[in-house]
Amino acid sequence: MLIWKDSYSVGVEAIDKQHKVLFEIGNDIASAMKSDKDDKYDDIMYMLEELIDYTEYHFSFEEEMLEKNGLPLSDKHLEQHRFFIDKLTEKKSDEIDESQGETLNELFGFVTDWIVTHILSTDKEYQAPLNGKGVF
């Protein structure tokens, strides 16, 4: 399970709210892993679509907020955003019907590691500059 901690806050309410939604989607994946349901294919595909759609929305919001405040994203930050979307899109095209449990485990591990690492390292870099511009 993904559990939100205050240490994950980037000090900007709108971004923190969106990160919390990503945690919820990650927890949906964890719930699917524990489910006794035999066929989880449709659930996996739905979660992948939801994750892709929401992260595209979130990344766009974050990128626009930073640019609007004169803080363009670094190439590294943009590459991380693209990598995450590309990896999820790639996962959608995998043959997952025969390996649903493995797919859920891989997806949960990837999402958990990426979200937490990205928030704590890359997104935190923008906390002080945004807060300094009065964005909380």
- How many domains does the chain contain in total? 1
Residue 69 lies in a domain: yes
Query: Is residue 40 within 8 Å of residue 105, measured between CB atoms?
Result: no
Series of mean pLDDT values for 10-residue runs along the chain (136 residues): 95 97 96 95 96 97 96 91 95 88 94 93 94 96
Contacts of residue 10, defined as CB under 8 A and 6 or more positions apart, other chains included, come to 16, 19, 119, 123, 124, 126, 127, 130
Give the range of the structural domain holding residue 73, as residue numbers without chain letter.
Answer: 20-126
Please report which residue ranges of the chain form alpha helices under DSSP H: 13-34, 41-68, 75-93, 100-117, 127-132
Residue 72 lies in a domain: yes
Residue 132 lies in a domain: no
Q: Which residue has the tokens 């939604």?
A: 21
Tell me what pLDDT residue 95 has.
Answer: 86
Tell me what pLDDT residue 94 has.
Answer: 85
Tell me what pLDDT residue 59 has.
Answer: 97
CATH number for the domain spanning 105: value is 1.20.120.50
Residue 34 lies in a domain: yes
Residue 51 lies in a domain: yes
Tell me what pLDDT residue 72 has.
Answer: 84
